[in-house]
Structure 1
Amino acid sequence: MAFVSSLFAGSAPAVAVSLDAAMNEQVVMVPAAFGGQSVELETTIFRPPGEGPFPVVVMNHGKALGNPRNQNRDRFVVLSREFVKRGYAVVIPMRKGFSKSSGDYIDRGCDMTGHGISQADDLQSTLDYLHTQRWADAEHVIVAGQSYGGLTAMAFGTRHYPGVKGLINFAGGLKMHGGDCRWQQSLVQAFASYGAKSTLPSIWFYGENDNHFGPDLAARMHNAYVQAGGHAKLVAYGAFKKDAHGMSGSRDGVKIWWPETEKFLKELGMPTETLYALDNEIKVPKNEFASIDNIEAIPYLKGSARDQYRVFLGKSVPRAFAVSPTGAWSWAEDGDDPVEQALQDCQKNSAQPCRLYAVDDHVVWTDESRPTTAAAPASPATSALTGP
């Protein structure tokens, strides 16, 4: 999860996300069938070097506000890196109706138990696919998820699927907005239902300042799950940045979730030793174009847009700010890769190439960055929101 903002300014060329060669990233369409209907699930796969077979982590995504079809492909680069460098393949399926996956999203309203069960159908199709892949050790699988994906993972744990050794729940649940829905109580009931039917060990991460599922609700869900017979360790950590709900997507979150996850994996007999070196640092050269706090030095920004750069300066690192000759701009804070995210979000809103202006605490812009013609867009990135 990342915090982003951008300005729409003119029609934009199509933007495709660049793949991470260091982690052998690929995108495949996994076949699935539901009620006689054939669909395909847009699925990201990260793999270590070699042919495998590799133990697998299947990571499940959350749900943004609005139409699920408009949600971008989730990659969980930070989390994936931690597992790939320890010899795991990481598989991230976009479920029905999300992003480029076909089929329709099924909205169960206030029925949280039903939400998890419906989403687990898609997850099961992904596990079935893994059994056909030589690179996947389908007998050593961890199922994980963040937010709605955490609810999905816990629901899937009731299916006693062969080869699945454990579950990881990062701030799992589904928050309803508006209406008279008693969604909190429905979530508690859902976890009680899952706990009564699952024998898999699980580990849960919920932060003190989670803006979706606060400490009281997290404790209620955990207690309901355990009292119903489920096996779960709750890691109730403190505040994390502005919203702990995005902890698993942050580079700074690794120090919270990995030590506990390492213990969990060792108890399951799963590997934890680092086998490959993967660099997670953002490498963008700084220069002397201007100081980071010189708001007037930024090219192309018009009207109140410079106020957004002031907002950017108040964000925590890692962060990035991008700008286009059309006046489009975007900033991104935290998340898998704020540099790529800021570029992609800006490029969506500009018919001319976007360039980085600042990364973390340094200006990276040069006079040579000013394009003289409308060229191909810069290397894009992950999903972003739009707004004034």
Structure 2
Amino acid sequence: MNCARGNAPGLATGLALLWVGLLALAVAPTASVASEPMLGAFGPEGARMREQLWILPSGDANFPMRATVFRPAIDPSGEDKQRPLVVINHGTDETTRLAVSMPVYYYLSRWFVDRGYVVVLPQRRGHGATGGPLAEAIGNCAHPDHYASGNVAADDIEAAVKFMTEQPFVSHDGAIVVGVSTGGWASLALSARNLPQVQAIVNFAGGRGGHAYGQLNAICGRDALLSAARVYATHAQEPTIWFYARNDSYFGPKFAEDLAQTWSSAGGSVEEHILQPYGNDGHAIADDRQGWDIWGPSLDSFLQRVREAAPKSVEMADDHGSRSPVMIETSTITPSVK
């Protein structure tokens, strides 16, 4: 009896290790039995907005990205029709980047899913389950290369956009690219590429190099960041909308306004909203349900105008109407949408 009880955990452990090994083989960056990684859906859909793990290509074929996909409910008729895509791109914390879980941004994702979008949240190279080197961190705080760093991150986003818009349940155009913090900066870098699949860019508190040397409202290479933005904007033709809070400790209102002025003067389209102080740190404006009432009406209006200005061949999601914001918004630059 004691012997049997002693052997059972060993057997269970062996089976668990076998399953772990099979899973690792299935999603390994470079499979030993094939030249290409296994891409696409991995595992069943969950109950929460049809949540599912996906494996996506990145900017480097050796490091496929892990991603979370959320989808609207199947139509009452039983048809799982094509939906426009939203790609939500996460920020970066150097001290925790390898320990972070899969990006979800539940309330931001749900805002779009409720409006009929398929949402994908890729985990870029150098973060969490995707792992690998942090390819998008080029230079150091004293000598950062914000332009090249943004482009490397944009390579990952571009790969995700192209792969997902080829899926049968996703529209081939009309995609919206959304970014938070460094993900916002990467989304602005992507806008310079004018991908035919992408219709607009949404930037929440975007930038790079915040909290320089551990100090609030200090930015590594502030002038270099503005210079890089100028180059991106010179090429960007897509409409963009930006949200920053007055109490953002990474990228405060003065920097946000300077960045928007730089972007606009270089020919980029920008509608910027400086929001009133939000929570303990306004850098988290995209993180919870309250954000729907703060930035939601402006984003609804922006997306409606974008659709009217650049109609696509596929059916777009319907708006749910504007809600009264609970905080005052101040728009610093609001040119007509391109």
TM-score for the superposition, normalised by structure 2: 0.72
Tell me which residue corresponds to 2:172.
138
**Structure 1 letter corresponding to 2:161:** L
Query: Are 2:121 and 1:92 equivalent residues in the alignment?
Result: yes
Q: Quick one: structure 1 residues 31 and 81, their matched pair in 2 at CA, closer, same or farther if it must change by over 3 Å?
A: same
Matched-pair contact (CA < 8 Å) for 1:87–1:274:
no
Tell me which residue corresponds to 2:195.
161
Tell me which residue corresponds to 2:71.
47
In the TM superposition, what is the alpha-carbon distance from 1:271 to its structure 2 partner? 3.1
Query: Are 2:238 and 1:223 equivalent residues in the alignment?
Result: no
Alpha-carbon separation, structure 2, partners of 1:196 and 1:175: 22
Identity of aligned residues (%): 31
SS in 2 for 1:28: strand
Q: Quick one: structure 1 residues 33 and 262, their matched pair in 2 at CA, closer, same or farther if it must change by over 3 Å?
A: closer
In the TM superposition, what is the alpha-carbon distance from 1:102 to its structure 2 partner? 4.2
Q: Quick one: structure 1 residues 25 and 228, their matched pair in 2 at CA, closer, same or farther if it must change by over 3 Å?
A: same
Tell me which residue corresponds to 1:26.
52
Alpha-carbon separation, structure 1, partners of 2:239 and 2:203: 11
The CA deviation string for residues 109-131 of structure 1, in whole angstroms up to 9 with x for no partner, is 21111111110001111012113
Structure 2 gaps, min length 5: 1-44, 75-79, 308-315, 322-338
Matched-pair contact (CA < 8 Å) for 1:153–1:169:
yes
Tell me which residue corresponds to 1:250.
288
The CA deviation string for residues 20-51 of structure 1, in whole angstroms up to 9 with x for no partner, is 513000011113352xx422101110000222
Query: Are 2:87 and 1:58 equivalent residues in the alignment?
Result: yes
**Structure 2 letter corresponding to 1:83:** F
The CA deviation string for residues 5-24 of structure 1, in whole angstroms up to 9 with x for no partner, is xxxxxxxxxxxxxx851300
SS in 2 for 1:139: coil
**Structure 1 letter corresponding to 2:73:** P
Matched-pair contact (CA < 8 Å) for 1:191–1:222:
no
CA RMSD of aligned residues (A): 2.1
SS in 2 for 1:39: coil
Q: Quick one: structure 1 residues 48 and 146, their matched pair in 2 at CA, closer, same or farther if it must change by over 3 Å?
A: same
Matched-pair contact (CA < 8 Å) for 2:176–2:201:
yes
Matched-pair contact (CA < 8 Å) for 1:170–1:206:
yes
In the TM superposition, what is the alpha-carbon distance from 1:73 to its structure 2 partner? 1.3
In the TM superposition, what is the alpha-carbon distance from 1:166 to its structure 2 partner? 0.4
Alpha-carbon separation, structure 1, partners of 2:209 and 2:46: 32
Query: Are 2:99 and 1:70 equivalent residues in the alignment?
Result: yes
SS in 2 for 1:262: helix
Alpha-carbon separation, structure 2, partners of 1:263 and 1:257: 10
Tell me which residue corresponds to 2:317.
271
Tell me which residue corresponds to 1:344.
none
Tell me which residue corresponds to 2:151.
117
Structure with larger RCO (C-alpha < 8 A, sep 6+): 1
SS in 2 for 1:83: helix
Alpha-carbon separation, structure 2, partners of 1:61 and 1:126: 13
**Structure 2 letter corresponding to 1:235:** H
**Structure 2 letter corresponding to 1:84:** V
Matched-pair contact (CA < 8 Å) for 1:262–1:272:
no
Matched-pair contact (CA < 8 Å) for 1:56–1:91:
yes
Alpha-carbon separation, structure 1, partners of 2:286 and 2:101: 18
**Structure 1 letter corresponding to 2:192:** T
Higher fraction of strand:
1
Alpha-carbon separation, structure 1, partners of 2:228 and 2:161: 23
The CA deviation string for residues 37-75 of structure 1, in whole angstroms up to 9 with x for no partner, is 422101110000222211111000000231522222110
Q: Quick one: structure 1 residues 169 and 33, their matched pair in 2 at CA, closer, same or farther if it must change by over 3 Å?
A: closer
Tell me which residue corresponds to 1:214.
252
Alpha-carbon separation, structure 1, partners of 2:241 and 2:59: 30
Matched-pair contact (CA < 8 Å) for 1:64–1:71:
no
The CA deviation string for residues 177-198 of structure 1, in whole angstroms up to 9 with x for no partner, is 3299842222211211111110
Tell me which residue corresponds to 2:207.
173
Q: Quick one: structure 1 residues 181 and 249, their matched pair in 2 at CA, closer, same or farther if it must change by over 3 Å?
A: closer
Matched-pair contact (CA < 8 Å) for 2:194–2:236:
yes
**Structure 2 letter corresponding to 1:169:** N
Alpha-carbon separation, structure 2, partners of 1:77 and 1:87: 15
The CA deviation string for residues 300-322 of structure 1, in whole angstroms up to 9 with x for no partner, is xxxxxxxxxxxxxxxxxxxxxxx
Tell me which residue corresponds to 2:21.
none
Alpha-carbon separation, structure 2, partners of 1:243 and 1:134: 40
**Structure 2 letter corresponding to 1:22:** R
The CA deviation string for residues 249-293 of structure 1, in whole angstroms up to 9 with x for no partner, is 121111111100001110122534349xxxxxxxxxxxxxxxxxx
The CA deviation string for residues 328-354 of structure 1, in whole angstroms up to 9 with x for no partner, is xxxxxxxxxxxxxxxxxxxxxxxxxxx
**Structure 2 letter corresponding to 1:170:** F
**Structure 2 letter corresponding to 1:115:** S
TM-score for the superposition, normalised by structure 1: 0.63
Matched-pair contact (CA < 8 Å) for 1:265–1:272:
no
Match for 1:108 among 123, 138, 144?
138
In the TM superposition, what is the alpha-carbon distance from 1:163 to its structure 2 partner? 1.9
